[in-house]
């Protein structure tokens, strides 16, 4: 399709207008306010990456949901019924898939890929294949049948290090407009040193060897959103407060001193060559040198004549309420409880309520994004005949909302107290021993324990 000159100009104007709007603050009266406040006008991968690496709150936010959603193992199920998946034996197909996923460390790879896609727009899993030269060549399209042993390794990349470099332009192709090749930046530490940078190699890789993960968008869509974008200005605010406080403490520790001339006391500076009182110029230089040494050393003393020192230390005030508001905004930006960001909580009832809500959110996320990620990998295995296709595939997850052992003990204690009160009032109990055992996870009574009513009947008979 060839654009006319007028269409080309219109498109360029629209693009320029969009770029300007992206750099503007939502404040209509002060559209350039972000620049005044010190906020970046536009954000790129390295803005997100640097704050993720250097800010504890940002790292906690990125890891909060992956840590919960991938905390327990999942099971790939043949069929669509997952109700008894944890209590029945696996089918042969399920055993084969489970074995392959364990071998390639799929659980860990999917969790780390989840973390990477949350930093920016998407993450990529590049599947390294071993076998014939044609199979191992990254640029070749995968065809034919592979076996599980052909999978050498799963490589994980941020979107910045795995970018599309060619697209399908045939409109009749089902993959029209999607990438056909990616340019991938491998980081290889050849000397096995502590240098994390290593040596970078650029590889061109066919799309059939790449799985793209991005939350909140359609499959194969590369326009995801970083979880660090919405609260980015809050991270800048925290850096201002914490950095300012840190600098203030450092300057106070450096002991800034001002000297007031009093006219009292003896001269202390003597010319080293003559032994006579030094000239004003030499005294000035000597005093300045002594002051610098006093400032730069912790264990140092300064003796001055006809001068009175004044310490210029100031009181450093740390605005806890200001920091708390910023942390609350950061937590709210992704629906994460504040204690997951700070590592502490002040009220148990509020904390329990937040955790329950977070559990519901993560359970829904498991059924959505996490399950989709697993199925992408399983479908890749099926596509290249590593495992056989089946009619339906589903994923079973442990119940995130199931009560913990301590919660179960608390519930049984409350049931016991309710039984005692009911016994006093009516002579009957509300809950049976079997019901309490079921809550604790003991579904059956031991053989040597019988109902108390049976024992009472035996006593009467005897």
Widest pairwise Cα distance in the chain: 122
Query: Could you report the per-residue pLDDT of 293-330, keeping only the tens digit for each?
Result: 666 665 556 666 666 767 666 666 667 788 889 999 99
Least Cα distance to 401 among 364, 349, 348 occurs for: 364
Query: Tell me, what's the pLDDT at 447?
Result: 47
Token digits for 9?
């100009």
Confidence of residue 342 (pLDDT cuts 50, 70, 90): confident
Confidence of residue 343 (pLDDT cuts 50, 70, 90): confident
Confidence of residue 4 (pLDDT cuts 50, 70, 90): low
- Rounded to two decimals, what is the model's pTM? 0.74
What is the rounded average pLDDT for all residues in the chain? 80
Token digits for 381?
């295995």
User: 28-32, 165-169, 269-273, 293-297: which range is least confident on average?
Assistant: 269-273
Exposure b/e, 424-439, CB count within 10 A at least 16 = b: eeeeebeeeeeebbeb
Least Cα distance to 138 among 204, 202, 210, 211 occurs for: 204
Token digits for 441?
């996870």
Q: How many CB atoms lie within 10 A of CB 209?
A: 21
Token digits for 28?
């209509």
Task: Enter the DSSP assignment of 393.
Answer: E
How far apart are alpha carbons 221 and 234 in whole angstroms? 28
What length does the chain have? 462
Token digits for 94?
């399920």
How far apart are alpha carbons 403 and 440 in whole angstroms? 10
Grouping H, G, I as helix, E, B as strand and the rest as coil, residue 130 is coil
């Amino acid at each position: 399709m060839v654009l006319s000159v007028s269409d080309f100009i219109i498109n360029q104007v629209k693009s320029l207008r969009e770029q300007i709007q992206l750099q503007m603050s939502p404040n209509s009266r002060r559209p350039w306010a972000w620049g005044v406040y010190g906020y970046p006008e536009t954000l790129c991968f390295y803005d997100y990456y640097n704050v993720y690496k250097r800010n504890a709150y940002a790292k906690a936010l990125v890891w909060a949901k992956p840590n919960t959603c991938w905390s327990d193992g999942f099971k790939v199920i043949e069929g669509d019924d997952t109700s008894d998946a944890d209590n029945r034996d696996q089918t042969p197909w399920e055993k084969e898939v489970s074995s392959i996923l364990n071998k390639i460390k799929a659980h860990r790879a999917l969790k780390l890929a989840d973390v990477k896609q949350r930093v920016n727009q998407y993450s990529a899993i590049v599947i390294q294949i071993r076998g014939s030269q044609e199979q191992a060549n990254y640029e070749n399209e995968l065809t034919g049948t592979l076996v599980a042993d052909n999978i050498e390794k799963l490589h994980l990349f941020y979107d910045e290090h795995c970018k599309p470099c060619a697209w399908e332009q045939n409109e009749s192709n089902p993959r029209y407009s999607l990438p056909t090749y990616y340019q991938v930046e491998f980081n290889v530490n050849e000397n096995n040193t502590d240098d994390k940078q290593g040596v970078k190699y650029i590889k061109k890789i066919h799309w059939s060897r790449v799985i793209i993960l991005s939350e909140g968008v359609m499959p194969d869509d590369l326009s995801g959103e970083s979880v660090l974008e919405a609260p980015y200005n809050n991270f800048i605010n925290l850096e201002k407060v914490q950095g300012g406080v840190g600098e203030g403490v450092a300057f106070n520790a450096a002991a800034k001193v001002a000297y007031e001339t009093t006219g009292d006391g003896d001269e202390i500076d003597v010319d080293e060559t003559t032994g006579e009182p030094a000239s004003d110029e030499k005294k000035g230089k000597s005093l300045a040198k002594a002051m610098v040494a006093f400032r730069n050393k912790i264990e140092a003393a300064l003796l001055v004549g006809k001068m009175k020192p004044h310490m210029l230390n100031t009181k450093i005030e740390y605005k806890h309420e200001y920091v708390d508001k910023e942390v609350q905004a950061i937590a709210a930006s992704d629906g994460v409880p504040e204690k997951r960001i700070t590592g502490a909580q002040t009220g148990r009832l509020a904390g329990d309520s937040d955790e329950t809500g977070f559990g519901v959110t993560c359970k829904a996320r498991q059924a959505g994004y996490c399950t989709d990620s697993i199925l992408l990998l399983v479908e890749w295995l099926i596509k290249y005949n590593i495992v056989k296709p089946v009619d339906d595939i589903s994923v079973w997850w442990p119940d995130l909302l199931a009560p913990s052992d301590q919660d179960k003990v608390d519930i049984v204690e409350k049931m016991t107290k309710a039984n005692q009160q009911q016994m006093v009032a009516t002579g009957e109990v509300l809950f049976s021993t079997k019901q309490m055992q079921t809550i604790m996870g003991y579904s059956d009574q031991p053989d040597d324990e019988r109902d108390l009513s049976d024992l009472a009947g035996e006593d009467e008979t005897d």
